[in-house]
Chains A and B, each alone.
Chain A
Amino acid sequence: GAGVSQSPSNKVTEKGKDVELRCDPISGHTALYWYRQSLGQGLEFLIYFQGNSAPDKSGLPSDRFSAERTGGSVSTLTIQRTQQEDSAVYLCASSYDGPYEQYFGPGTRLTVT
């Protein structure tokens, strides 16, 4: 079946602009996660949605970052007033509820110039 998809695959933006990154999870998965990976760095958790529960936003690095999940499916990660340090690959993953494996998308490579 279809895996996790993300768009765009690449995004180049100017410092100070807002960007939106999209994630389409695997159908039926109730949990959705956002991570990011900066050049030469490990994978860093950003935010986690689980069903109708309040999202776990503990990984968001600043209030310029926000995310929403509409209808329990598609999610959008928004970065306002982008900075050069926001340049990274942003990865989305989804899973069933419980101790099940997370399936990752291919990521969106964001470059802030």
Chain B
Amino acid sequence: DAKTTQPPSMDCAEGRAANLPCNHSTISGNEYVYWYRQIHSQGPQYIIHGLKNNETNEMASLIITEDRKSSTLILPHATLRDTAVYYCIVRVRAGGTSYGKLTFGQGTILTVHP
């Protein structure tokens, strides 16, 4: 599986944008980049995913570099409730139309402070 590298921790002030980087230099052409987060004692929560174009939804934006070797998750106006572990995952195609498991790394602990 393509491996990802994330900083172990980041801080962000409430109301400011949180920009979480991820390196995935060995990504292959049909592998998607996914972002999940896990708030303490809860199951992981899907945030966003993309293949090569930038994506935006109600939670966040995903910026993928042209060579696809890195990406950035942007939370435009971080709140205290965004404090969580954020996981960047490259998802391998399992076969046919199936994409199979998610392989979670250690993620980035984002702390949003007042």
Using CB atoms and an 8 Å cutoff, list the residues of chain A in contact with chain B.
Answer: 4, 31, 33, 35, 42-45, 48, 50, 53, 56, 59, 91, 93, 97-107
B43 pairs with A50, CB closer than 8 A: no
A42 pairs with B104, CB closer than 8 A: yes
User: Beyond A42-B105, A42-B106, A99-B32, is A104–B98 a contact (Cβ under 8 Å)?
Assistant: no
Please measure, in the bound complex, the distance between the C-alpha atom of A102 and the C-alpha atom of B49, giving whole angstroms.
11
Which chain A positions have C-beta within 8 A of B107?
A: 42
- With a 10 A CB-CB cut-off, give which of B46, B51, B102, B107 has the most chain A CB atoms: B102
Instruction: For the complex of A and B, list the 8 residue pairs with the smallest distance between their C-beta atoms, beginning with the closest.
Output: A104-B43, A43-B104, A101-B46, A45-B101, A99-B99, A98-B97, A104-B44, A99-B32
Q: Is B25 interfacial (CB-CB < 8 Å)? A: no
Which chain B positions have C-beta within 8 A of A100?
A: 99
Number of chain B interface residues as a range: 20 to 34
Using CB atoms and an 8 Å cutoff, list the residues of chain B in contact with chain A.
Answer: 32, 34, 38, 42-46, 49, 51, 87, 91, 93-94, 97-107
B98 pairs with A98, CB closer than 8 A: yes
**Interface contacts beyond A33-B101, A50-B94, A98-B98: sample of 8 additional A-B pairs, CB < 8 Å, sorted by A:** A43-B104, A44-B104, A48-B94, A97-B98, A99-B99, A102-B46, A104-B45, A106-B43
B97 pairs with A97, CB closer than 8 A: yes
Select B102's contact among A50, A53, A102, beta carbons within 8 Å: A102
Please measure, in the bound complex, the distance between the C-alpha atom of A15 and the C-alpha atom of B8, giving whole angstroms.
35
Which chain A positions have C-beta within 8 A of B49?
A: 99, 101
B34 pairs with A59, CB closer than 8 A: no
